[in-house]
């Protein structure tokens, strides 16, 4: 098969979700670097493939698709051989619940906290860090009785959640009080084909 073209920025957790999924599936990839710092995502040629001006975008042999969670669904259904997205109503709904969390509370909490320290976003740090810990408490409790977010096996729910939770310390959100979350991160990192997102020396990740 032809490589799937991934429009990517290395420090974007949204882009990393797709990069991770492609790697877990063992699919051939052609990475196209989009320099967000220089505003390439707002130029006409990029807006022609995603009018929202955001990474990631994939081009799978002419099928162009944007939005990280939508791309995860597409990749799982097209190439996942039934392993990454359940087809039964309950299993599918459980995954969708966590995709909604990734798009909502996770974005408003750990992702936004990291945007402050890594990219200088003008959010209220105290508020987003507090939201982050409220979310992490819920997730940690959930993972105390569940191996993965949506059940006993890894799904795209875990891929959607991993990047910004794993990198929450960059936004001054400590994971120290969440042992079940940290164990879950370890399980994701042990999956065959796992690829990480580059860490930045920001927030709690700063060198001593």
Question: In the chain, where are the structural domains located?
Answer: 4-79, 89-205
For the segment 43-60, the average pLDDT, to the nearest whole number, is 89
3-state helix, strand, coil in the chain (%, to 5): 55, 10, 35
Which of the four pLDDT bands, split at 50, 70 and 90, describes residue 99? very high
Q: Measure the CA angle with vertex 61, ends 58 and 64; round to 5°.
A: 35
Q: What is the pTM of this model?
A: 0.94
Which of the four pLDDT bands, split at 50, 70 and 90, describes residue 42? confident
Strands 29-33 and 4-8: parallel
Residue holding tokens 């929450």? Answer: 168
Coil, strand or helix at 33: strand
Q: Please choose, from the candidates 163, 68, 187, the residue with its C-alpha nearest in 3D space to the C-alpha of residue 115.
A: 163
* CATH level 3 topology of 89-205: Glutathione S-transferase Yfyf (Class Pi); Chain A, domain 2 (1.20.1050)
User: Do 106 and 165 contact (CB within 8 A), yes or no?
Assistant: yes
* Whole-number Å distance between alpha carbons of 176 and 168: 11
For the segment 47-61, the average pLDDT, to the nearest whole number, is 91
For the segment 140-145, the average pLDDT, to the nearest whole number, is 98
Tell whether domain 4-79 is in CATH 3.40.30.10: yes
The predicted structure's pLDDT at residue 46: 83
């Amino acid at each position: 098969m032809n490589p799937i073209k991934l429009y990517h920025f290395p420090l974007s957790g949204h882009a990393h979700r797709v990069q991770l999924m492609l790697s877990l599936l063992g699919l051939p990839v052609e990475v196209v670097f989009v320099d967000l710092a220089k505003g390439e995502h707002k130029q006409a040629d990029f807006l022609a493939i995603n009018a929202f001006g955001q990474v990631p975008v994939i081009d799978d042999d002419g099928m162009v698709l944007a939005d990280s969670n939508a791309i995860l669904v597409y990749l799982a259904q097209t190439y996942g051989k039934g392993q990454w997205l359940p087809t039964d109503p309950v299993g599918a709904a459980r995954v969708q619940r966590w995709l909604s969390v990734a798009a909502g509370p996770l974005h408003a909490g750990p992702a936004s906290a990291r945007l402050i320290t890594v990219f200088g976003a003008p959010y209220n740090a105290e508020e987003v860090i507090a939201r982050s810990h409220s979310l992490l408490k819920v997730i940690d409790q959930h993972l105390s009785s569940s191996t993965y977010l949506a059940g006993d096996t890894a799904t795209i729910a875990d891929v959607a959640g991993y990047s910004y939770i794993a990198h929450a310390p960059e936004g001054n959100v400590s994971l120290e009080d969440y042992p079940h979350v940290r164990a879950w991160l370890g399980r994701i990192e042990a999956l065959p084909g796992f690829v990480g997102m580059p860490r930045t020396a920001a927030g709690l990740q700063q060198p001593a």
